[in-house]
Structure 1
């Protein structure tokens, strides 16, 4: 993932409603949801939701498929995983992180950053 794509994805997620939409679609899984259901669950007006879906789609964080006359939006897990990988690729100085901790880079020597 290049810097421009990362910046676009993070910018798209840096808004409360878009973040809520993305998290809802991650929870929905690959089946996704129709916009009317997204709007209903999150209490967003259709016009606002349309704008947010467009922004997330342009950042390649969502996929859009047609099912008859309906559009189905789903989280783009490939882009999400690439973004997470980009953000953590240099974690712990390139050394594997300990699966026993929730922190990416524990400081076993106690050295202050």
Structure 2
């Protein structure tokens, strides 16, 4: 993962509402959640939620799939795994573990 991509992901998670959305979607697994389901758990207006979802989609942390008439929001576990790898790639390099 490039530094710029990682920075975009981290910037998107710097907002508490977006972090809450992502955490809910991670818990939902590959089934994801529609906007109505997310709104039941979060106390934010629909337009604000839509803004946060768009931000997370642009950052690549979530994706959207149309299922019939619904749009399902799903955590992008591949990207999240790459972010985890990015963070830990040089973990403790040259530093003895205690």
TM-score normalized with structure 2 length: 0.94
User: What corresponds to 2:86 in structure 1?
Assistant: 86
Greater RCO, CA 8 A, separation 6+: 2
Long gaps (5+) in structure 2: none
Report the Cα distance in structure 2 between the residues aligned to 1:10 and 1:42, rounded to whole angstroms. 21
CA–CA distance in structure 1, aligned partners of residues 44 and 81 of structure 2: 27
The reply on whether 1:15 has 2:15 as its aligned counterpart is yes
The 3 A distance-change label for structure 1 pair 106 and 48 is: farther
Q: CA RMSD in A?
A: 1.4
Structure showing greater Rg: 1
* Count of residue pairs the alignment pairs up: 98
Q: Which consecutive aligned stretches of 4+ in structure 1 deviate over 4 angstroms post-superposition? A: none
Q: Deviations over 1:61-110 (max 9, x none)?
A: 0010001111000100000010010011001217xxxxxxxxxx7743xx
2:55 aligned with 1:42, yes or no?
A: no
TM-score normalized with structure 1 length: 0.82
* Deviation digits for residues 33-62 of structure 1 (CA, Å, limit 9, x no counterpart): 001110111122100000000000000000
Q: Aligned partners of 1:39 and 1:59: how far apart in 2?
A: 21
